Amino acid sequence: MTTKSLTREAASAAADAQWWRGASIYQIYPRSFADSNGDGIGDLPGITARLDHVASLGVDAVWLSPFFKSPMRDFGYDIADYCDVDPIFGTLADFDRLLERAHALGLKVLIDQVYAHTADTHAWFLESRENRTNPKADWYVWADPKPDGSPPSNWQAVFGGPCWTWDARREQYYLHNFLPSQPQLNGHNPAVQDALEAAMTFWLDRGVDGFRLDAVNFMMHDPALTDNPPVANPAKRTRPFDFQHHFHNQSHPAIPDFLARLRRRASEYGDRFLLAEVGGEQAEAEMKLYTEPPSRLHSAYGFLYLYAEALTPQLVRDSIRQWPDDAQTGWPSWTFSNHDAPRAISRWAGTRDHKAFAEMLLLLLVALRGGSIVYQGEELGLPQGHVPFHRLQDPEAITNWPQTLGRDGARTPMPWTAGAAHAGFSTAEPWLPVDPAHLSLAADLQERDPASTLNAARRIIPLPRRLPALKTGAIALVEAHDDLVVFERGSGADAVLCAFNLGEADTPFDLPAGWRVADSVNLPDGWTGGALPVCAGLVAVKA
């Protein structure tokens, strides 16, 4: 073998090991994707049966939200056993079949890991709360009350109320940053870190390709239990959580060292991928810290787009400037919708045509530098589902009704078949109702329509494979003002120019000399410039 062929092989192996750069990941919320056994709840065999649909989109990987044993008070994000499948979703054998089928279709599989907290039914917590001397006594965050019996600090929980719940057996409070049924693990404890790494290893040995790490910046707290300072004139006032800067119940400086440990373990298995979820007011700095090359996580995503009230050129500009293409900055990932935020179309489209807007969003998502995460139903152009109050399941939505939309509207069942009961999701009444407005967007109807959003998605999502600059190229902002955003990906002969009209009226734009349109959405045939129509987006290459 020649030196040149060895070099090519090494380059190819390096590219394979970094398959996640510019990859498209399809997020599946198992409860709402497909029900195979008629109990109204989606499951692993249902996902396996629908993987051909996912593969047809041209995505590189699927990310499965939690399917582990759980009391389901937070619908799987309260884990009772990291190494087993909850019976409502199936069995470990069902997971193995799903993994095998995904790999046969060329899809990587990522699974959720929640290392900040467990369910209060987890065996670790049941032992920990028995007394102050048992082997797991310090596996969770316990603290004595203040002299007057009040909680140890002023910390407030995301889902409402104090972060502390009294436990009479230990005569102490335990910490929970979310629900009281989600006690906080003591991430500082080396034994806890060992146990979490062992859980990761269990799934690595089973063949998963990576992990999405939930609420990463909540993994460790300030052991001194320092009070959080108040926010002056908070913009949001829907819950006590909004009144504080969360400097001490999260974001501890020891977190990056634990993440580096997880990265080392994953690296032992080759091309595995670690993706962090990072929210909160310090998210930008923390995402960069947690993905700092070369030893920490591969990528992170935050809530810049997920919680934005409007999609503007300035928002896109900010996202581009946050992640410069240099040796010190990690690799971002982007998502416009997911299981925790109202669907982007309902937040942003306004009076604009929903179909046109949905297709523009897909093109913008894959054009940005970074990984792209497509939430189930975005390929159909689904708006937020309507869930009446008496059908709400989300504890946050119920607690804060009617001030917040909650998460249930983004979690309604996938509409597979317009004419079938419950849109083909299940033969039984689903755990959340199918929104009748989703029936006209069902997958079977769009499958037969060449002009559908589904078929547009099948063209748009794989674009980075055809235009490598969209996959790994640098990004340079050209302009972002009024309604227009223009940026360039890559450089030289392989560069790609991207332009989007994010406004509600046509906006002036001419393609610069030397470029030709390679793909577009909502652009008339024969377009020669002058104005970019509403919801139009294009990617152009050198002529």
Active site residues: 214, 268
CB crowding 205-236: b at 16 or more within 10 Å, else e: eeebbbbbbbbbbbbbbbeebeebeeeeeeee
> Could you give the CA distance from residue 362 to residue 337 in angstroms, rounded to a whole number?
11
Contact 163, 156 (CB under 8 A): yes
Distances (CA, A) of 343 to 69, 304, 347, 376, 408: 27, 14, 7, 10, 11
Question: Tokens standing for 486?
Answer: 């223009």
**Cis upstream peptide for 462 (omega within 30°):** no
HSE-up of 136 (CA within 13 Å, CB side)? Answer: 16
- Beta pairing class for 537-542 and 496-501: antiparallel
Residue whose tokens read 């523009």: 360
217 backbone dihedrals φ, ψ, rounded to 5°: -75, 0
- Comparing CA positions, the residue from 37, 26, 16, 14 lying closest to residue 380 is 26
> Could you give the CA distance from residue 184 to residue 192 in angstroms, rounded to a whole number?
11
Indicate the residue type of 122: H
- Say how many Å lie between the first and final Cα of the chain, rounded: 38
- Beta pairing class for 273-277 and 210-214: parallel
The Cβ of residue 481 has, within 10 Å, a number of other Cβ atoms equal to 11
The DSSP call for residue 117 is B
Q: What are the helix (H) ranges across 61-130? A: 92-104, 123-128
The residues near 213 (Cβ < 8 Å, ≥ 6 apart) are 113, 115, 259, 262, 274, 275, 276, 277, 297
Indicate left, alpha or beta for 431 from its phi (over 0: left) and psi (-120 to 50: alpha): alpha
Q: Which residues face 498 on adjacent strands? A: 487, 539
> Could you give the CA distance from residue 108 to residue 98 in angstroms, rounded to a whole number?
11
- Comparing CA positions, the residue from 438, 429, 417, 427 lying closest to residue 391 is 429
CB crowding 443-471: b at 16 or more within 10 Å, else e: bebbeeeeebbbbbbebbbbbbeebebbb
Which DSSP string corresponds to 275-321? Answer: EEE--STTHHHHHHHHT-TTTS-SEEE-STTTT-SS--HHHHHHHHH
Which DSSP string corresponds to 342-366? Answer: --HHHHH-TTS-HHHHHHHHHHHHH
Q: What are the helix (H) ranges across 66-154? A: 92-104, 123-128
HSE-up of 173 (CA within 13 Å, CB side)? Answer: 21
